[in-house]
Amino acid sequence: MFSILPILSSAQAEEEVNPVMDPRVNTGGKKIQDDRPRTYDMDAERTRALVEENRKKQEQIKNDLETKKEEIKIKKEEIQTKKEEIKTEAKERRNTIRQEIGERKDNAKEAISTRINQFVGNIIERFNAAIQRFDNLVTRIESRIAKLDSENIDTSKAKELLVFAKTKIETAKVSIAAIKVTNPTTGTSTPTSAIKEAFQTTKNQIEKAKKDTKDAHKALIEVVENLKPGRNATSTPATSTPSTN
């Protein structure tokens, strides 16, 4: 037993002396700590960090995609809204233009009707003035006939012509009173042709009144001509009562 101990001691001494045989011993013959478990922990930590970083990147990419989709959606909605606004504005503009055109047409029709009324009103005033002159002339003619009758002048023909002239004057008065301005209801639904047609009716009435007024004037002229000296009016000899002696 005692012979073995020196051998073991020699082996242990050799083991302690040879640093190459044990990596835990540095070149100075001292034992160092084994760092392999620590290296494994650092690798695991680095791996976990990389995985976490990759996860965050993927999450960021996902968030970016969602944000991009939302932006695209908002952009589409904005474009659609803009289209609707443009469409609405165009429709309102068309309606405004139609309304303005309609108002211009109504104003034009109203202006036409106003001018027609003024024109017809002036014509009626002229006709009435002529009739007033005719009535005044009739009064003078009747006074003239009465004077001639007092002078024993035959005025039977003049009286006959005067009755005819008075009839013509009354006919003219009726024609003038019949002149009416027929104004169709103005509006976008009233065609301009309706206004023209109404004016044509009024124009025909004016033409008739004009003819009847001329006829009355002509009849009065015949009475005046008949009452001139040396014409149809003749004196009637006065009947004398024979004297009795």
**What is the per-residue DSSP string for 195-230?**
HHHHHHHHHHHHHHHHHHHHHHHHHHHHHHHHHSTT
Nearest-5° Cα angle at 126, 122 to 131: 145
In a domain, 179, yes or no: yes
pLDDT higher at 130 or 19:
130
Range of the domain at 164: 120-235
Residue 2: pLDDT band (50, 70, 90) is very low
Q: What pLDDT does 240 receive?
A: 43
Give residue 219's pLDDT band: very low, low, confident or very high (50, 70, 90): very high
| Angle at 9 (CA atoms; ends 6, 10), nearest 5 degrees | 85
Judge whether 182 lies within some domain: yes
Residue 146 lies in a domain: yes
Q: How many domains does the chain have?
A: 1
Q: What is the pLDDT confidence band of residue 183, given thresholds at 50, 70 and 90?
A: low
**Residue range 201-220: average pLDDT?**
94
DSSP string for 105-173: HHHHHHHHHHHHHHHHHHHHHHHHHHHHHHHHHHHHHHHHHHHHHHTTEE-HHHHHHHHHHHHHHHHHH
Question: Which of the two residues, 183 and 47, has the higher pLDDT score?
Answer: 47
Question: pLDDT at position 232, please?
Answer: 55
Mean pLDDT of 12-24: 49
pLDDT value of residue 95: 82
**What's the whole-number average pLDDT of the chain?**
78
Residues 6+ apart with CB under 8 A from 165: 138, 216, 219, 220, 222, 223
Question: Is residue 171 one of the residues assigned to a domain?
Answer: yes
Q: Is residue 169 part of a domain?
A: yes
Residue 115 scores a pLDDT above 60 = yes
pLDDT band with cut points at 50, 70 and 90 for residue 221: very high
Flag whether 228 is in a domain: yes
The values of phi and psi at residue 105, to 5°, are -65, -45
- Has residue 82 been placed in a domain? no
Query: Which one is predicted more confidently, 14 or 113?
Result: 113
Residues 6+ apart with CB under 8 A from 110: 186
pTM of the predicted model as reported, rounded to 2 decimal places = 0.54
The CA distances from residue 96 to 43, 81, 85, 102, 107, in Å, are: 77, 22, 16, 10, 16
Cα separation, 137 vs 131, in Å, equals 10
Chain centre distance of CA 135: 53
Residues 21-47: tens digit of each pLDDT: 455 445 555 545 555 556 667 778 888
Q: What is the percent of the chain with per-residue pLDDT over 90, rounded to a whole number?
A: 32
Q: pLDDT band for position 190 (50/70/90)?
A: low
What value does the mean pLDDT take over residues 182-204?
70
Is residue 86 a part of any domain in this protein?
no
pLDDT at 99: 75
For 4, how many CA atoms within 13 A lie in the half-sphere containing its CB? Answer: 1
Give the pLDDT confidence score for residue 33 in this predicted structure: 52
